[in-house]
C-alpha cells in the first residue's frame, strides 16, 4: 500500500495564484492487480467494479471481473469473481472496464468483451451475474465508435443512458428502456472536447459532469479531464484537467460516499499492464468546478 497525505498548495501562473491544487501521494486501496474502477454506492456501502489485470501481463489480456466493497474506505472486501468471459458465448477476449447500477432491486452489470458491450443481471451487487441477452447489447463499431468502456447513468427523471466509446472527441450514448437491457432509440454521437475513452458521468447540484482520459499527456492518456453540461447529452463546456496519474493510461470514476466526494483511478504497477487502483478526495469550488489534484511522491507528501 502507498502512504497517503494531503497538502494544499497554490497553482501559480507567473506571480498570481489562480487556483488551488490538492496534492497527494498515490494511495492504493485494492490488491494487485486491478484497474478501471467504477465506484457505486448501494444501500450505504461502496462497491468498486474494476477490470482485472493478470500478474505478468504483457498486454491488456483480461478474462474476468471481481467486485470489492467497503463501509469505511479503509477495510475492503474482495467478493471474488462475479462474472467471466466463460459466462458468455459471443466473445473470448478483452474483459475490460465495466460498470454496474441498481434499478428496481436488480443490479445490471455492463461489460465490454472483444470490442462489444454486453449486460448481465443479478439480484445482488456481488453477483453472481448472468448474461441477460445472450448477445451484445452494442455490437462492434456501431455508429463508427469503438464499443468499449460502458458507463451507465440514471437521471432524476428515471431515464437511463449508456455511454461508451473509444474515439477521438466522439462519445457514444444510447437511451435504455426501464428494463435496462433494451435500447430505446438510436445511438447518438456527441462531440466532447479532448475525449479519448473511459467516460464517467455524475450529477451534482443540477450539473452533469463528464470525466474521461484524454489522449494528451507525456505518458500516453495519463490526464483525466472533464467537461460539464446542463443536460445528459450536452452541449458541453470544457473545464480542464482533474489529475495526472503519471502513468501510461488513466481511467476512473467519481462518487460521493458518506458526505464526501472521491475520485477513483488506476496507476501502473510493475508495468502498464499490471495496474493498481487508487483513491483521492475530491473537492468542488463554489462555482462548481473541481479542484485539480497534483500527484506527488510519497517522500514529498510526507515532508509537507
Does residue 156 carry a catalytic annotation?
A: no
Catalytic residue among 36, 115, 131, 142: 36
Catalytic residue among 87, 131, 142, 197: 197
Does residue 286 carry a catalytic annotation?
A: no
List the beta bridge partners of residue 236.
229
Residue with grid cell 470525466, as numbered in its chain: 211
Rounded to whole angstroms, how far apart are CA atoms 151 and 186?
17
Q: What are phi and psi of 9, to 5 degrees?
A: -140, 150
Bond into 281 cis (ω within 30): no
Active site residues: 36, 197
Amino acid at each position: 500500500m502507498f502512504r497517503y497525505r494531503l497538502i494544499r498548495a497554490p497553482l501559480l501562473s507567473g506571480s498570481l495564484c489562480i487556483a488551488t491544487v490538492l496534492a497527494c501521494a498515490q494511495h492504493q486501496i485494492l490488491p494487485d492487480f486491478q484497474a478501471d474502477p467504477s465506484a457505486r454506492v448501494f444501500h450505504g456501502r461502496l462497491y468498486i467494479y474494476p477490470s482485472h489485470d493478470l500478474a505478468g501481463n504483457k498486454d491488456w489480456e483480461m478474462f474476468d471481473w471481481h467486485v470489492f466493497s467497503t463501509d469505511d474506505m479503509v477495510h475492503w472486501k474482495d467478493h471474488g469473481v462475479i462474472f467471466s468471459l466463460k459466462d458468455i458465448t459471443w466473445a473470448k477476449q478483452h474483459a475490460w472496464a465495466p460498470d454496474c447500477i441498481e434499478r428496481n432491486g436488480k443490479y445490471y452489470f455492463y461489460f465490454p468483451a472483444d470490442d462489444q458491450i454486453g449486460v448481465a443481471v443479478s439480484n445482488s451487487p456481488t453477483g453472481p451475474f448472468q448474461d441477460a441477452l445472450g448477445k451484445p447489447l452494442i455490437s462492434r463499431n456501431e455508429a463508427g465508435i469503438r464499443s468499449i468502456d460502458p458507463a451507465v447513468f440514471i437521471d432524476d427523471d428515471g431515464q437511463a443512458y449508456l455511454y461508451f466509446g473509444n474515439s477521438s472527441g466522439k462519445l457514444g450514448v444510447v437511451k435504455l428502456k426501464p428494463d435496462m437491457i433494451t435500447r430505446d432509440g438510436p445511438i447518438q454521437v456527441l462531440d466532447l472536447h479532448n475525449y479519448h475513452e473511459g467516460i464517467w458521468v455524475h450529477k451534482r447540484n443540477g450539473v452533469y459532469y463528464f470525466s474521461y482520459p484524454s489522449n494528451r499527456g507525456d505518458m500516453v492518456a495519463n490526464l483525466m479531464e472533464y467537461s460539464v453540461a446542463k443536460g445528459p447529452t450536452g452541449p458541453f463546456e470544457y473545464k480542464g484537467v482533474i489529475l495526472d496519474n503519471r502513468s501510461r493510461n488513466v481511467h476512473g470514476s467519481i462518487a460521493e460516499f458518506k458526505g464526501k466526494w472521491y475520485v477513483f483511478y488506476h496507476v501502473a504497477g510493475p508495468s502498464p499492464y499490471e495496474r493498481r487502483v487508487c483513491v483521492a478526495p475530491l473537492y468542488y469550488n463554489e462555482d462548481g468546478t473541481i479542484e485539480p489534484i497534483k500527484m506527488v511522491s510519497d517522500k514529498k507528501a510526507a515532508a509537507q
